[in-house]
C-alpha cells in the first residue's frame, strides 16, 4: 500500500533519501532499527569510504512514520556495504531506541525508604540526564525499606523492578513509561480486508497458579498464600484459556516471595499481580497492517467487513442488485510488539502482536534476577532500636557513595530460645563499630543481606602465634580468654588484673589486685588431697552463724605472734584423752567459782619456791 512520505533525519537534519527502514518495537525491551542509505547521499561519488557517515555514530536518529508517530533512537553501528554485481553501495545504520542510554555499564547502588518512582527517576537522571523523556507512574507507591541495583545496567535494573512489582514498562518511540499510562491514547479502528490482513487469533495455556511464602523476622511469623481462581480484564477467549490452564497446570508453584515483605496480605497482592501478568497473553492476535499510525501502546479496535448474502440483504430490505456489507467487531487490543518496514518508493507495512486491551498487567520482562555474592562490609552502627542484636553496615561499594544497609541480623553458632530462656539463648557476640564483616544473601537476593561473620585485616589481626597455638576471645574493653595449646592452659583475664589461670598441668591460680568474694546460697565445700594454706597480710576472720568444727587427724598447731584471746559466751568444755601440758612464764586464772577434781589419782602441786593459798574466808583441806 502506498503511503505518504516517511521522514528520516539525523541530529535534527533531514536526510534526503533512504533505501529502506526497518523498525522493531516491543514492550519491556529496547527498540531496534536498521536504515539503509545510498552511499552517494552521504559520501563522494565512487569513494570507498565512510568519512562523512562515521560522524553519525552516536547521534540521534528521528523517524517519522506519520505526523503523530515518531521514533527517536541512537545510532550505534555504521556499515559500508557493496555487493559484487549489484548497482550502487549503501551505508547501513543500526541502533536502538533512546533507552539504550541506560546501558552505559553495570552499576552498584542502593536506596533506603524510597519509592519506586523516586528510584527510577534518579536512575534515569543519572544514566540519561534530560535526553530521555519519561513518564514514571508506578501502581506501587509505598516506600521500600531497601533496594539494590546489583551489577546491572540502569535499564536492566528498571526491567527487574518492572518484573518484581509487575509494573508496565515500554517505550512508545519517544517516551519511556514505567507504570500503566493514566491517559489512554486515541483508539484506532482496523478493518480486516481493508487495512488489516493476515489476522491470527490465538489462545494458549499458561501455568498461572502461584503460591509462595514469606517470613517476618520481627514477629517470627511464616506466611503462605496462594492465588485465587480469578483474573480481571480478560475477554471471553482469555477466560476460557485461563480455565483450560487451571485444568492443565493444576498444581500451583511454591516459592519464596520476590519481595522480602513479611506481610501476608501484601504477598497475596503480589501473587495476584503476577497471575495477571502470566495470563496477559493467554489470548492474543498477530496481524499485518498498512496503517502507519500504529505504535507500542496503541489501542486498536479490530473489526471485519463481509458482503451480505442476497438472503441477508432481502431480510434487511436492501436493494439486492447492489453489494452491501456488514461489519462485525472482533475485539479491542493493545499493541505490545510491532515491526515497521518502509522503502524508498513509498511502500509501508507493519506486523504486530496485540493483547486484550483491558488486561491489568503486561507480560513480565524475560530477564534473570541477579545473584548476589558474599561481600565484605564495615560495621557503622550496632545500637539496634528494637534491641534485637542487629547491625548496620556499609559494603565496600557503599562506602564510596555514603550508602548503607538496613538493620541486619547476625549469624552465630547458636541462637534461639528455650523454656527457661526467652531471649539470647546461645552465643551473643555483636560486632563492634568499625569491624569488618562478611555478608551473605538469603536466596542470593541482593535485597536480603545478613551478617555471616567477622574478619580481621592487616591492622587488626595478630594471628595465633607462629605455631598457631594461641586461641583467644578478646572483648572491646580488654577482657580476654586465651587458650594455649602448647601448654593446654587457659587464662581468663580482665583489664584490672584479675586472672583465672588453669596451667594445663593440674593447677589453677586465681589472682585479684583487690578483693575476692565468694557467696553461696547454701554450702561451700573445699577439699584438698594434701594441704590447704590460708595467709592474710593483716587480719584473718572466721565467722559462723551456728557451729565451727575443726578436725585435725593428727596435730593442730596454733602459733600467735602476740596475744591469744578466747571469748566464750557460754561454757568452755575441753575433752582430752591424753595429757594436757601448759607452759607459760606467768599464769593467772580468775573465776567466780573454781573446782579441781582428780577421779583416779592424786593432784600434785609443785613449786620451786613457795606455794601460797589465800582465801577471803575459810580454807578447807581434806
CB 302 within 8 A of CB 285: yes
What pLDDT, on a 0 to 100 scale, did the predictor assign at position 167?
A: 98
490 domain-assigned: yes
**Could you read off the pLDDT of 172-207 as tens digits, one per residue?**
999 999 999 988 888 999 998 888 989 999 999 999
What CATH number does the domain containing 444 carry? 2.40.50.230
* Domain-embedded: residue 117: no
Indicate the pTM of the whole model.
0.86
Give how far Cα 389 sits from Cα of 383, 407, 423, 431, 618, Å: 8, 9, 11, 9, 90
C-alpha pair distances (Å), 275 with each of 73, 166, 173, 380, 474: 33, 10, 28, 41, 54
CA distances from 524 to 249, 328, 519, 521, 529 (A): 72, 102, 8, 9, 17
Based on the fold, state whether residues 212 and 323 are members of the same structural domain.
yes
* Same domain? 385 vs 350: no
Residues 293, 251 within the same domain = yes
> Which strand (E) or helix (H) includes residue 60?
strand 60-66
Residue 317's pLDDT is 73
Q: Mean pLDDT, to the nearest integer, of 107-133?
A: 97
What's the pLDDT score for residue 1? Answer: 47
C-alpha–C-alpha distance, residues 521 and 333, integer Å: 84
Residues 91 and 201 reside in one and the same domain: no
Higher-confidence position of 50 and 33: 33
Predicted local distance difference test score (pLDDT) of residue 98: 98
253 phi/psi in degrees, rounded to 5: -65, 165
| CA angle in degrees (0–180, nearest 5) for 444-448-454 | 90
Whether 572 maps to a domain, the answer reads: no
Q: Is residue 202 part of a domain?
A: yes
- Render pLDDT for 143-164 as a digit per residue (tens, 0 to 9): 999 999 999 999 999 999 999 9
Please measure the distance between the N-terminal and C-terminal CA atoms of the chain and give it in whole angstroms. 162
User: Would you state the pLDDT for residue 374?
Assistant: 98
Task: Determine the average pLDDT of the residues in 588-600.
Answer: 81
Where would I find the H helices in 25-167? 39-42, 116-128, 154-165
Count of the separate structural domains present in the chain: 4
- 343 and 409 fall within a common domain: no
471-513: per-residue pLDDT in tens? Answer: 999 999 999 999 999 999 999 999 999 999 999 999 999 999 9
**Cβ proximity of 75 and 57 under 8 Å:** yes
Residues 226 and 280 in one domain: yes
φ/ψ of residue 302, rounded to 5: -95, 130
* Any domain includes 22: yes
For residues 169 and 76, membership in a common domain is answered with no
What's the average model confidence in pLDDT over 71-83? Answer: 92
Q: Are 147 and 372 in contact (CB under 8 A)?
A: no
Asked if residue 533 is part of any domain, the answer here is no
Q: 252 lies in a domain?
A: yes
pLDDT value for 607: 81
pLDDT at site 541:
86
Spatial contact of 275 and 206, defined as CB atoms under 8 Å apart: no
Q: Where are the beta strands (DSSP E) in 193-298?
A: 196-203, 211-216, 221-226, 255-256, 283-289
Count Cβ atoms below 10 Å from residue 579 Cβ, excluding itself: 5
* 351/588 Cα distance (integer angstroms): 132
Q: How far apart are CA 275 and CA 262, in angstroms?
A: 20
Over the stretch 229-274, which tens digit does the pLDDT of each residue have? 889 999 999 999 999 999 999 999 999 999 988 889 999 999 999 9
- Residues 196, 58 share a domain: no
The answer to whether residues 96 and 174 belong to one domain is: no
What is the biggest distance separating any 2 CA atoms in the chain, rounded to whole angstroms? Answer: 178
Asked if residues 441 and 450 have their Cβ atoms less than 8 Å apart, the reply is yes
Examine the pLDDT at 84 and tell me if it is beyond 70.
no
C-beta of residue 218 within 8 angstroms of C-beta of residue 386: yes
Q: Which residues pair with 416 in a beta bridge?
A: 425
What pLDDT digit, counting tens, does each position of 524-571 carry?
A: 999 999 998 888 889 888 888 888 888 888 888 888 888 888 888 888
SS3 helix, strand, coil % of the chain, rounded to 5? 15, 35, 55
Neighbours of 54 (CB within 10 A): 12
With a CB cutoff of 8 Å and minimum separation 6, the contacts of 546 are none
Domain CATH number, residue 39: 2.30.300.10
Please check whether residue 87 is in contact with residue 19, taking contact to mean a CB–CB distance below 8 angstroms. no
Q: Indicate if 166 and 266 belong to the same structural domain.
A: yes
Instruction: Determine the length of the chain.
Output: 622
Coil, strand, or helix at residue 99? helix
What's 410's DSSP letter?
A: B
How far CA 521 is from CA of 518, 524, in Å, comes to: 10, 9
Mean pLDDT estimate for the chain: 91
Q: Which domain does 485 fall in, by range?
A: 470-511
Burial (Cβ within 10 Å: 0-12, 13-18, ≥19) of residue 380: middle
pLDDT confidence tier of residue 318, bands split at 50, 70 and 90: confident
Residues 6+ apart with CB under 8 A from 312: 324, 326
The verdict on 303 and 389 lying in the same domain is: no
Least confident of 122-136, 179-193, 433-447, 604-618: 604-618
Do 404 and 480 share a structural domain?
no
Q: Which residue stretches of 361-409 are H helix?
A: 396-399
Identify whether 58 is part of a domain.
yes
Strand (E) or helix (H) holding 276: helix 264-278
Residues forming beta bridges with residue 283, ordered by sequence position: 203
Report DSSP state, residue 96: E
Q: Is the pLDDT of residue 86 over 60?
A: no
Amino acid at each position: 500500500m502506498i503511503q505518504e512520505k516517511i521522514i528520516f533525519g539525523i541530529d535534527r537534519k533531514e536526510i534526503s533519501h533512504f533505501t529502506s527502514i526497518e523498525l522493531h518495537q516491543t514492550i519491556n525491551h529496547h527498540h531496534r532499527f536498521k536504515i539503509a542509505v545510498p552511499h552517494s547521499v552521504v559520501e563522494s561519488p565512487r569513494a570507498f569510504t565512510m568519512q562523512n557517515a562515521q560522524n553519525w555514530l552516536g547521534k540521534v536518529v528521528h523517524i517519522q512514520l506519520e505526523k503523530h508517530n515518531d521514533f527517536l533512537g541512537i545510532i550505534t553501528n555504521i556499515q559500508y556495504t557493496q555487493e559484487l554485481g549489484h548497482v550502487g553501495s549503501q551505508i547501513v545504520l543500526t541502533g536502538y531506541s533512546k533507552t539504550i542510554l541506560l546501558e552505559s555499564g553495570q552499576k552498584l547502588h542502593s536506596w533506603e525508604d524510597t519509592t519506586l518512582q523516586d528510584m527510577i527517576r534518579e536512575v534515569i537522571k543519572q544514566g540519561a540526564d534530560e535526553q530521555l523523556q519519561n513518564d514514571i507512574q508506578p501502581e506501587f507507591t509505598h516506600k521500600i525499606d531497601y533496594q539494590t541495583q546489583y551489577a546491572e545496567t540502569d535499564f536492566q535494573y528498571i526491567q527487574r523492578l518492572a518484573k518484581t512489582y509487575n509494573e508496565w514498562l515500554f517505550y512508545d518511540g519517544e517516551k519511556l513509561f514505567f507504570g500503566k499510562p493514566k491517559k489512554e491514547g486515541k483508539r484506532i479502528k482496523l478493518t480486516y480486508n481493508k487495512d488489516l490482513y493476515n489476522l491470527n487469533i490465538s489462545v494458549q495455556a499458561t501455568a498461572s497458579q502461584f503460591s509462595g511464602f514469606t517470613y517476618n523476622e520481627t514477629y517470627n511469623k511464616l506466611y503462605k498464600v496462594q492465588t485465587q481462581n480469578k483474573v480481571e480484564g480478560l475477554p471471553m477467549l482469555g477466560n476460557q484459556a485461563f480455565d483450560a490452564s487451571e485444568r492443565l497446570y493444576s498444581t500451583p508453584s511454591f516459592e519464596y516471595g520476590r519481595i522480602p515483605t513479611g506481610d501476608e496480605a501484601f504477598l497475596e497482592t503480589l501473587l495476584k499481580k503476577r497471575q495477571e501478568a502470566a495470563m496477559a497473553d493467554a489470548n492474543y492476535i498477530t496481524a499485518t497492517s498498512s496503517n502507519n499510525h500504529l505504535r507500542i501502546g496503541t489501542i486498536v479496535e479490530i473489526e471485519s467487513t463481509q458482503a451480505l448474502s442476497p438472503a441477508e440483504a432481502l431480510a434487511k430490505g436492501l436493494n439486492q442488485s447492489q453489494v452491501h456489507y456488514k461489519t462485525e467487531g472482533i475485539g479491542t487490543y493493545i499493541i505490545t510488539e510491532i515491526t515497521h518496514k518502509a522503502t524508498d518508493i513509498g511502500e509501508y507495512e507493519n506486523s504486530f502482536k496485540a493483547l486484550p486491551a483491558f488486561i491489568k498487567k503486561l507480560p513480565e520482562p524475560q530477564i534473570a534476577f541477579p545473584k548476589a555474592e558474599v561481600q565484605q562490609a564495615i560495621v557503622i552502627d550496632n545500637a539496634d532500636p528494637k534491641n534485637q542484636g542487629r547491625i548496620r553496615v556499609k559494603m565496600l561499594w557503599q562506602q564510596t557513595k555514603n550508602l548503607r544497609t538496613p538493620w541486619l541480623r547476625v549469624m552465630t553458632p547458636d541462637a534461639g530460645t528455650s523454656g527457661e530462656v526467652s531471649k539470647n539463648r546461645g552465643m551473643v557476640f555483636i560486632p563492634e563499630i568499625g569491624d569488618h564483616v562478611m555478608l551473605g544473601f538469603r536466596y542470593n537476593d541482593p535485597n536480603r543481606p545478613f551478617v555471616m561473620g567477622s574478619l580481621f585485616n592487616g591492622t587488626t589481626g595478630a594471628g595465633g602465634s607462629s605455631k598457631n597455638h594461641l586461641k583467644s576471645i578478646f572483648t572491646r574493653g580488654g577482657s580476654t580468654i586465651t587458650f594455649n595449646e602448647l601448654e593446654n592452659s587457659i587464662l581468663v583475664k580482665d583489664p584490672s588484673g584479675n586472672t583465672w589461670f588453669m596451667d594445663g598441668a593440674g593447677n589453677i591460680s586465681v589472682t585479684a589486685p583487690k578483693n575476692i568474694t565468694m557467696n553461696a546460697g547454701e554450702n561451700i565445700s573445699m577439699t584438698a588431697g594434701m594441704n590447704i594454706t590460708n595467709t592474710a597480710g593483716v587480719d584473718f576472720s572466721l565467722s559462723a552463724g551456728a557451729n565451727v568444727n575443726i578436725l585435725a587427724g593428727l596435730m593442730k598447731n596454733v602459733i600467735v605472734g602476740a596475744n591469744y584471746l578466747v571469748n566464750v559466751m557460754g561454757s568452755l568444755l575441753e575433752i582430752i584423752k591424753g595429757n594436757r601440758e601448759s607452759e607459760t612464764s606467768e599464769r593467772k586464772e580468775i573465776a567466780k567459782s573454781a573446782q579441781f577434781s582428780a577421779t583416779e589419782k592424786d593432784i600434785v602441786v609443785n613449786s620451786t619456791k613457795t606455794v601460797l593459798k589465800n582465801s577471803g574466808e575459810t580454807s578447807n583441806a581434806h
